[in-house]
Chains A and B, each alone.
Chain A
Amino acid sequence: AQKVTQAQTEISVVEKEDVTLDCVYETRDTTYYLFWYKQPPSGELVFLIRRNSFDEQNEISGRYSWNFQKSTSSFNFTITASQVVDSAVYFCALSEAERGSTLGRLYFGRGTQLTVWP
C-alpha cells in the first residue's frame, strides 16, 4: 500500500488562479513528519515545508499555505494567485519515527505536475 498518495497527476491553471494540491498519507506511527518538495524543470528537489504530527496548525508562507488534518490524514498545499514560475512537480513525503529506527527515510508520493499558463 502507498504510504503517500497524491491523487492528482496533473493540474493546469491559469495565472492568478488559486490551486490546491492534495496529499493523503498512511502511517501507524503517532510521531511522524510530513514534507512538501518542489521539483522545477531543472530537476533539483527544493524543500518547501516540514510538519510534525503534533503540530496541526496551518501554515502560511507568502502565497503558499498548508492545511494539515490528522482526522483525514491529509496535508494539502495551496498556492494562492499562482504564477508561471510555480510550474513544477510537487512531491509530498512522509517520514516515520519508528521505534529503534531508521533515521527518517522519506516515502514520497508520485507527485503532481502543476502547469500554470500565462
Chain B
Amino acid sequence: EPEVTQTPSHQVTQMGQEVILRCVPISNHLYFYWYRQILGQKVEFLVSFYNNEISEKSEIFDDQFSVERPDGSNFTLKIRSTKLEDSAMYFCASSDSPRRYGYTFGSGTRLTVV
C-alpha cells in the first residue's frame, strides 16, 4: 500500500537553528498538509498546499515557518529559527481527494529543540 514517507524520524536541534523536515507524499496525490502534535496534546493543523501554493495556514504557521515542493516529489517544512516550544511531532499528510478519500499521514518526525 502506498505510503507517505517522512525523514528524519527524530531530529534534535539547538534553539535558534534552522530545521527542514522532509516528506515524500504518495505519488499521484495533489494535496499536501503539515500538522503538529505537542507531546500529549491534540493534533493541530499547520498548513495546506495545492498547485504549488499555500491554500490555508493556521495561526500557528507564522513567519518562522515555510513550505516548499522543491522537486515535484518532496514536500518540506522549514522552521527558520527554532524555539523550545517548537518541540513536537510533525506529521505530513497527502491526498488525491481530501473530501472523498481522506488523508494519508506519514509516521511523523519528532523534533526536539534544546
Chain A: residues with CB nearer than 8 A to chain B? 33, 35, 37, 42-45, 47, 50, 52, 91, 93, 95, 97, 101-111
Contact = CB atoms under 8 A, between A and B. Distances in A.
A33 B56 contact: no
Given A50-B102, A95-B98, A105 B108 contact: no
B55 interface: yes
Contacts of B50: 103
A47 B98 contact: no
A106 B58 CA distance: 11
A84 to B, nearest CB: 22
Given A45-B105, A102-B48, A91 B42 contact: yes
Contacts of A110: 41-42
Interface string B86-111: 00010100010011011111111010
12 contacts: A33-B102, A43-B108, A45-B91, A97-B99, A103-B48, A103-B56, A103-B98, A104-B31, A104-B95, A105-B45, A106-B35, A106-B43
Given A91-B43, A110-B42, A104 B98 contact: yes
Interface in B45-93: 45, 48, 50, 55-56, 58, 89, 91
